[in-house]
Amino acid sequence: MLRIPGLGAGNFFRLAAAVGSDAENSVIELDKAYRHPKGGLARQLSLGELDALSDRVAAGFYRDGIRPKDPVALYLDESVRYLLHYIALTKIGAIPVFLNGRLTPDIAARFLSHVGAVAVVSDGRLPGAALEIPYYDEDPYATEPFRAFTHTDDDPVLIAHTSGATGVPKAVQFNHRGFFYGIRQEIGADLGHRVLSALPQSHASALSVLMSCVARGARILLATEREPQQLAARIEEFRPALVAAFPKVFVDLSRLDLDAYDFGSVSRWLSTGDASHERHIRRLVRLGNHRDRTGAMAPGSLFIDNFGSSEFGFAMFRQVHSATSDRYGRCIGRPFDWIDAQVFDDTDEPAACGTVGRLALKSPTVTAGYWNDSLRSEKNRVRGYWLTGDLAYRDESGRFYHVDRASDSIATRQGTVYSCQMEELILRHVPEIFDCSLIHTDACTGAEEGRDAVQAGAESRQLVLTVDLSPEDGKTHPETHPETLRRRINSALSQARLPHIDRLVIKETDAYVGITGKALKRAMRDAYQPAEPQPGAPTPAHGGHEE
């Protein structure tokens, strides 16, 4: 199939259904049944059935005047409908615009206005009249013929969005060739013939995994219900060889008594997005089994930690962990063979090995830019590289280490500290803490200006650690008193010559978590910022508590 001329992300599923290959054996199982517009429920879809259904939906869009290069938004509950509409819209050359259904309606409306959507498919959550564009609360469905579109390399096939962890999401454009490039390069990887995807169906990564699985002839379960108990039950029932998800899903799964479940079928966990913490990886890799390099069965599974961002159609770096491996410390491994990775300093010069700087990459998989925002796109380019928004360094062997998001590093009187790096150290030394987030608050009055203000801000800054206690220890354990924990943490930080934590807050598990599971550190900073004291005023509650 990969030898078909012109094959790319825009025509992959149509061609996969048309050719005789391993792909024709693929079946997509659904944890939520798809309701046909003309009645009937489907619990699974073969490629042929998906192709026929998407033909009907494409015909409905075409009948209603949707044409090539028209952005059409999908703002839905998690389901196979994202995939169905992606295939249907690309058949006629329109551009699917994926919105996570957990975005609030006001943010969704602003996003759709920005991208210039000509229509929106939703399920009652977004008033179409407010947008003044056609609104579908059911899938369009027709039998009339439509004009099929032929994609070229640079034709857009998807407008996705970033996590929005630092504000309104940015609109990320993916093209026919670039979005498929990483899938083509990695098609020979052995990921097993039963795959459970718990990735958000509204995210580009879910499409990438689906295309990879279909090209290998795998059977796929779309797990749209991702609460840990539900997911564990699905793994037991479906018995996948590979489980794919964002890091937060694996963190939550790790909270369970994992020995109470049968995960014997799992040989690999595939995480994509942010780098995962050692604490959570180690709880998973002791489960299941895998074949080692000699082909013999070995106990324990592999954790494939793919480091990437919304601006890449495929992951950037890969680090594989096993039950016996010990390369952690925020190591994200080496970039894929087709990626040129660089670390730049503040003057846009390459940083020396071991020096933290701005991570940037050249790759055919990088986004073509932010849709309708060429200025922001250009500001993300340095010397032909795309800035990822991450801070990292490279060692002498060519391995990269991720230390923080650029927006989350903290200037202190003792120098710059990197929140992800410090969180990793804390989790390694204090087992009672299951997860944590490091932020800062400012006590500076703002009266100073210029350089003096920056210096005054750093000197008055307080480091705040929000913690989620290990479920096996419980919140009544004597060693989990906040002040006791803070002293133990600061002892470990002193040994590493890092600044102390000024304040520790025990946070509710899902407080300040974004739509894709990322910690919303900006929201935490706002919530935990010391308020001006008011006589007789009670202390506000912020989803956590101090003692």
CATH number at residue 355: 2.30.38.10
In a domain, 450, yes or no: yes
The total number of structural domains that make up the chain? 2
Q: Enumerate residue ranges in the chain where pLDDT < 50.
A: 128-129, 445-447, 453, 473-476, 533-547
Residues in the chain: 547
Q: Would residue 169 be called left, alpha or beta, if left means φ above 0 and alpha means ψ between -120 and 50 degrees?
A: beta
Q: Is residue 379 part of a domain?
A: yes
Whether 412 and 399 map to the same domain: the answer is no
Query: Per the domain annotation, does 418 fall within a domain?
Result: yes
For residues 431 and 522, membership in a common domain is answered with: yes
Residue 230: inside a domain:
no
Helix (H) or strand (E) holding 379: helix 374-379
Query: How many of the other CB atoms lie within 10 Å of CB of 304?
Result: 19
CB atoms within 10 A of CB 41: 10
Q: Name the pTM for this structure.
A: 0.91
504 is a domain residue: yes
Residue where one domain finishes, among candidates 350, 375, 403? 403
Domain extent at residue 539: 408-545
Question: End of a domain among 381, 403, 425?
Answer: 403
Same domain, 516 and 464: yes
User: Measured between alpha carbons, how far is 62 from 71 in angstroms, rounded to an integer?
Assistant: 13
Do 374 and 479 fall into the same domain?
Answer: no
Whether residue 528 sits in one domain with residue 414? yes
Look up the CATH number of the domain holding residue 439: 3.30.300.30
What per-residue confidence (pLDDT) applies to 539? 39
Q: Would you say 53 and 45 are in contact if contact means Cβ atoms under 8 Å apart?
A: yes
Contacts of 304 (CB under 8 A, 6+ apart): 268, 269, 270, 271, 318, 320
Is residue 420 in some structural domain?
Answer: yes
Q: Is the residue at 51 inside a domain?
A: no
What are the Cα distances from residue 377, in Å, to 64, 282, 404? Answer: 33, 38, 21
- 383 and 432, same domain (yes or no): no
- Let me know if residue 492 belongs to a domain: yes
Q: Hey, which bits of 374-442 come out as E strands?
A: 381-382, 385-394, 400-405, 410-412, 415-417, 433-442
Last residue of a domain, which of 403, 436, 454? 403
List Cα–Cα distances, 167 to 163, 457, 461, in angstroms. 9, 23, 23
pLDDT of 543: 44
Strand pairing report for 302-307 and 268-273: parallel
Same domain, residue pair 419 and 454: yes
Q: Across all residues in the chain, what is the average pLDDT? A: 88
